[in-house]
Chain A
């Protein structure tokens, strides 16, 4: 079965700092990869997704992620974070049978 690991459990940044959250998956075949965000008290929302094509994917709110097949990675990046980016971030992989498997999540706190 597919699995997803997120290395950073809790990240604290000052506003305007750059962000990179790690995500690695284990699966040798074709993958669909996703990043979701969960703002405090809200439900999960899709930030971006990768199905095929350009490995650099741009999402909403200035986020982007790069799919590196050789490293089984799909790291999330943002050049300059804002206080409003404080949230939980989840990486997910879609496996066979269309099930989605989530990483353990990264809690991001942005200090004004």
Chain B
């Protein structure tokens, strides 16, 4: 049974704090993704990675960075958290970068920035 785990289910941080969201997959997939999910907007891609130490910007990378030091681990970093980054963050892994393969999602981290 494939599994994607995220380090926290709920997180509350203050404006200006540096925030780390961790994601681990056990599928041995090359590709990993970070999305944010907001009501009425669906899932929007922040960053993705197609190999260790490789990363590409998605649709909304501003205010975020990522790190992929090991194949199974993909971290999302909020350099200086702001209230407009309050959201549900979803990590996914998959065989393909595009929609030709399934993406497997983690349970999500609900981040509140006050």
Binding partners A and B:
no
Interface residues of chain B, those whose CB is within 8 Å of chain A, are none
